Amino acid sequence: MDYHLLKIAFGVLGTAGLYSVLYRENKFYRFWEHVFVGLAAGYGIYALWTETLKSSWWDQMVGAAPEGATGNGYWLYMILLPVGLMGYLVFHPKHNWISRIPIGMILGFYSGQQLQAWQNQYVPQINDMMKPIIPNAGFFKENTAGASPEDVVRINSHLYGSQALSNLIFVMTVLTVLSYFLFSFDIKNKILKNSAVLGRWMLMIGFGAIFGSTVMMRFTLLIDRMYFVWIEFVRDGLGHMTGAK
């Protein structure tokens, strides 16, 4: 058995061990769970250095540049090393207060970044919720196949009935879902009550769609693992080894 087949067999054992939890909790699963966590931790340390620290800190500090090029190092980046090491003093009973300094700096920078991230992520979504619902053309959109660029611009500038209906369903879904979260006061108006009930149903439909996509993603992973076991290992690996003999 060559090294490549041995490596694949190790992966097959790990796959069988991790999926054995579907039967019940067992020591075989626990063993491979610890192996997986250990490998993930080791790979995380390697990825931290190669993908983050080396490119964003070390190379910038020493002025590393491609072969044949010159670069100047930013030696002030050396300050980041003791600041980062201060975080590990959280494990020291007497001086663990020092670890709060880098943690506070990280939280401050992260909070500032999240304000910008919130704006970039949610403000466009709020703008997209404001959709027109009154059509100004026919019900179905004209076919743009073979049309001139001027005609394509003209066709796309109109709001057709089918698009308006879709926009209306979208706007009503947003408003009913928002009305469901009016918990600050007692809702006595029948319209708001019915809107809240409809919003709850819309939420359940959305959660069901998310759950369905999650299940399909898990099946995708299962299919990939079964392909690895039955095709790469059984057919290609063991089949070729048996044929060679």
Nearest to 101 by CA among 78, 74, 79: 79
User: What tens digit of pLDDT does each residue of 141-192 get?
Assistant: 888 888 888 888 888 888 899 899 999 999 999 999 998 988 777 778 888 8
Rounded to 5 degrees, φ, ψ at 168 are: -65, -45
CB atoms within 10 A of CB 123: 10
Tokens of 93: 């009973």
Give the start-to-end residue ranges of the domains of the chain: 1-73, 131-245
- Distance separating alpha carbons of residues 88 and 102, to the nearest angstrom: 10
In the chain, which stretches have pLDDT less than 50? Answer: 68-69
Tokens of 32: 């491979």
Q: Report the amino acid identity of residue 180.
A: Y
CA distances from 206 to 129, 173, 240 (A): 16, 10, 48
Report pTM. 0.61
